[in-house]
A and B are shown apart, each in its own frame.
Chain A
Amino acid sequence: MKCSRRNFLQKSIYGALAVTLPLTAFKILSPGEAAAALKESNLRWAFLVDTRKCVGCGLCVKACKNENEIPYDTPVTRTWVERYVVTRDGKTRIDSPNGARDGFTSPEMLGEKIDEKEITKAFFVPKLCNHCATPACVQVCPVGATYQAPDGAVLVDRTWCIGCGYCIMACPYGVRFFHPVHKVAEKCTFCYHRISKGMQAACVQACPFGVRQMGNIKDPDDPVTKIIMSERVGVLKDEYGTKPHVFYLGLDERVR
């Protein structure tokens, strides 16, 4: 290939123009402008559980199963309550019979009688989907059936889910299960049909002791946000980097 001087200069100029021209298409936006362009919502749901108030009645589990039509007698549930009993010998016993659907009515645990005098501490921990900011379950879905709604709720598209179960394996909290009727992955929706109407989630409403609360974490005046901001709250399995949005008051190190 031959290249004259004239030809070389001409092509260099064209090349330089081609490189610089698209730069004018870029514009530096202020953070406010960027947020407006992305239409970022000012709503992000968060959940607060006060474990110190829980008595293990399981009315939340019962209400959730009825409200969300999870077959009542199947061993699956969107929310459940765990009982932790720590004895003098340092052992921790954990149980949740039927997800505590019928509450805890017996001091017996896993077929074992525990001497009352041996118990150093015992408590109940309600669990549900953490609606993580970076949910592992969503990341692994091969078909785009599970996603994070603009308000933070992690939902499953029942018409799109192929039931492969990757998300059930991926969730570090074990909150997902296979729906026995719809044959798709199932999980807590934060009662999306209720919160989008301005109602409380079924479990929040059913709790007689105010253990469960929900709020908008982007609103600094929200009573729940105020507690999360000003009191000592913990989250489950922080080390997984999933940024869970269910916050716990009075969380014990034994809770997994």
Chain B
Amino acid sequence: MKNHVLRPLWVAILLVLVILVARKIYVPKDFGINGQNYTFGFYRKANLDDWKSIKVKYNGREYCKDCHEENFKKNELFKHRIIQCENCHGPAGDHPENPTKLVIDRSRELCLRCHARLNYPDALRSKLPGIDPQKHNPDSVCVDCHQPHNPDLEV
């Protein structure tokens, strides 16, 4: 065959080789069919560990109980025991190391999440004790009068 025909062919073959080598270098070894099939299970396997290694921030009430057992036991007697400590006290993370002190949410808005009255028939919301936020002491914070741990009592 003539040279001017072969030359582009060599260029094309070289290009394919370059792409194949680059692919070999850049695609991680654990990339492939790791799941049930090609369509849904084609991924980089190490990514599973990436997701697993994310730090937990909300530790749950059992974690709080380890140190604050007295408070935990006392609050277990009241209606608000169904609410996780961290929902109001903030995510513990590595507390007591980091953060050393948790920021407590004492805002009116936090209480209103459940206790702003919504009269919906056949919804659990209407069975919770509720107020009209516009009429019921609109300028004060709930915890000024109500005890957040024992809501039956007033301060």
Q: Which residues of A contact B (CB under 8 A)?
A: 38, 52-59, 62-63, 66-68, 85, 102-107, 116, 119-124, 134-135, 138-139, 144-150, 155, 157-160, 189, 192-194, 196-197, 199-200, 202, 205-206, 208-209
27 A–B contacts from the bound complex (CB under 8 Å): A38-B36, A55-B114, A56-B125, A58-B113, A59-B87, A67-B58, A102-B109, A103-B116, A104-B116, A105-B113, A107-B119, A122-B120, A122-B123, A123-B123, A138-B39, A139-B39, A144-B31, A147-B42, A147-B43, A148-B40, A150-B35, A155-B43, A160-B47, A192-B54, A200-B60, A208-B83, A208-B87
In terms of DSSP, what is the predominant structure of the interface of chain B? loop
A150 to chain B, nearest CB (A): 6
Are A149 and B124 in contact, with the CB atoms below 8 A?
no
B84 at the interface (CB under 8 A from A): yes
Chain B's closest residue to A200 (CB) is B60
Complex CA–CA separation, A133 to B54 (angstroms): 24
A30 to chain B, nearest CB (A): 19
Are A144 and B113 in contact, with the CB atoms below 8 A?
no
Residues of B within 8 A of A59 (CB): 83, 87, 113
Residues of B within 8 A of A199 (CB): 56, 60
Q: Which residues of B contact A (CB under 8 A)?
A: 31, 34-36, 39-44, 47-48, 50-58, 60, 82-84, 86-87, 91, 109, 112-114, 116, 118-125, 128, 133
Contact A123 B39, CB 8 Å, known A144-B31, A205-B60, A208-B87: no
Contact A208 B43, CB 8 Å, known A104-B118, A116-B119: no
Residues of B within 8 A of A147 (CB): 34-35, 40-43, 47
Residues of A within 8 A of B133 (CB): 105-106
Are B124 and A55 in contact, with the CB atoms below 8 A?
yes
Contact A53 B57, CB 8 Å, known A148-B40, A206-B84: no
Chain B's closest residue to A190 (CB) is B51
Residues of A within 8 A of B91 (CB): 63, 66-67
A199 to chain B, nearest CB (A): 7
Residues of A within 8 A of B83 (CB): 59, 208
A77 to chain B, nearest CB (A): 16
Residues of B within 8 A of A55 (CB): 114, 123-125, 128
Complex CA–CA separation, A91 to B91 (angstroms): 40
Are B40 and A134 in contact, with the CB atoms below 8 A?
yes
Residues of A within 8 A of B40 (CB): 134-135, 138-139, 147-148
Are B121 and A193 in contact, with the CB atoms below 8 A?
no
Are B48 and A149 in contact, with the CB atoms below 8 A?
yes
Are B113 and A119 in contact, with the CB atoms below 8 A?
no
Are B51 and A192 in contact, with the CB atoms below 8 A?
yes
Chain A's closest residue to B119 (CB) is A116
Residue in B54, B57, B121, B124 whose beta carbon sits within 8 Å of that of A209 in the complex: B124
Are B47 and A157 in contact, with the CB atoms below 8 A?
yes
